[in-house]
């Protein structure tokens, strides 16, 4: 078993992918799409992957490592939002015709930024917490059930926070509620469909990395980032 205060190449690679998915999802959230009769944000394409990675990290390395990567994802998201605002404030070249589109994508309204970052933190930490607690309770069994349950809890919390803050007052309440429910369900279905891949990835990392952490006697305080 590796020293829990170190990080492996596998953890580093998953952490990078986690942050990239979050930044991409944040930008894609600016577009609302309709497929058949389903209305959702384009972030649905990539955002569930972050929860799958969250499940992998919590399962293999435990809640403390998941806490570290969640805060790192938050920091990267915040930095992209801040840099986007800085770029918008810079004067555009007279011949450039893409300013309107650029400003639309990167000029995230303050309420959207707050909604996105808050929902991400709450949903991600709930996902990792449920995954950790269920692993202890089951003795490491029933990974599929734990992954699906933790995702449903995390995604539901994410949707319940994001949509009212981001779009409250901008669309009918009935449409808002419909989007909240559909987003949580669709992202959970996404997890179920890709579950066979998730299971293989987790088993492979456990074998290669030699890590399978059970979170006994740890603090679930989300602010204790230094505790690895």
The model's pLDDT over 31-60, given as tens digits with 9 standing for 90+, comes to 777 877 777 777 777 877 888 899 999 999
**Range(s) of the domain holding residue 160:** 9-215
Confidence band for 108, pLDDT divided at 50, 70 and 90: low
Residue 56 lies in a domain: yes
pLDDT value at 158 more than 90: no
Residue 223 lies in a domain: no
Confidence band for 162, pLDDT divided at 50, 70 and 90: confident
pLDDT for the residue 175: 80
Residue 63 lies in a domain: yes
Residue 157 lies in a domain: yes
CATH number of domain containing 135? 1.10.1760
How far is the CA of 111 from the CAs of 53, 162, 183, in angstroms?
A: 27, 10, 19
Residue 144 lies in a domain: yes
3-state secondary structure of 139: coil
pLDDT for the residue 1: 45
Residue 131 lies in a domain: yes
The model's pLDDT over 163-195, given as tens digits with 9 standing for 90+, comes to 888 777 777 888 888 878 887 788 788 888 889
Task: State pTM to two decimals.
Answer: 0.86
Residue 167 lies in a domain: yes
pLDDT value at 73 more than 80: yes
Closest CA to 132 of 226, 60, 47, 227: 60
Q: Count of domains in the chain?
A: 1
**What CA–CA distance (Å, rounded) separates 130 from 147?**
9
Q: What integer best gives the mean pLDDT of the chain?
A: 86
Residue 1 lies in a domain: no
């Amino acid at each position: 078993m590796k020293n829990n205060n170190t990080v492996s190449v596998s953890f580093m690679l998953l952490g990078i992918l986690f942050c990239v998915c979050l930044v991409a999802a944040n930008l894609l959230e600016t577009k609302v799409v309709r497929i058949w009769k389903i209305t959702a944000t384009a972030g649905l394409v990539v955002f569930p992957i972050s929860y799958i990675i969250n499940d992998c990290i919590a399962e293999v390395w435990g809640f403390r490592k998941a806490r570290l990567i969640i805060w790192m994802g938050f920091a990267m998201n915040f930095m992209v939002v801040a840099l986007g605002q800085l770029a918008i404030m810079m004067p555009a070249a007279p011949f450039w015709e893409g300013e309107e589109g650029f400003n639309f994508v990167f000029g995230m309204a303050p309420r959207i930024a707050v909604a996105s970052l808050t929902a991400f933190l709450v949903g991600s930490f709930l996902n990792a917490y449920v995954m950790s607690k269920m692993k202890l309770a089951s003795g490491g069994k029933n990974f599929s059930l734990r992954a699906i349950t933790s995702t449903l809890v995390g995604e539901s919390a994410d949707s319940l926070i994001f949509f009212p803050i981001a779009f409250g007052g901008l669309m009918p309440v009935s449409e808002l509620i419909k989007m909240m429910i559909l987003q949580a369900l669709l992202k959970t279905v996404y997890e179920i469909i890709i579950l066979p891949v998730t299971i293989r990835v987790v088993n492979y990392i456990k074998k290669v990395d030699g890590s399978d952490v059970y979170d006994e006697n740890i603090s679930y305080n989300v602010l204790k980032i230094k505790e690895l």
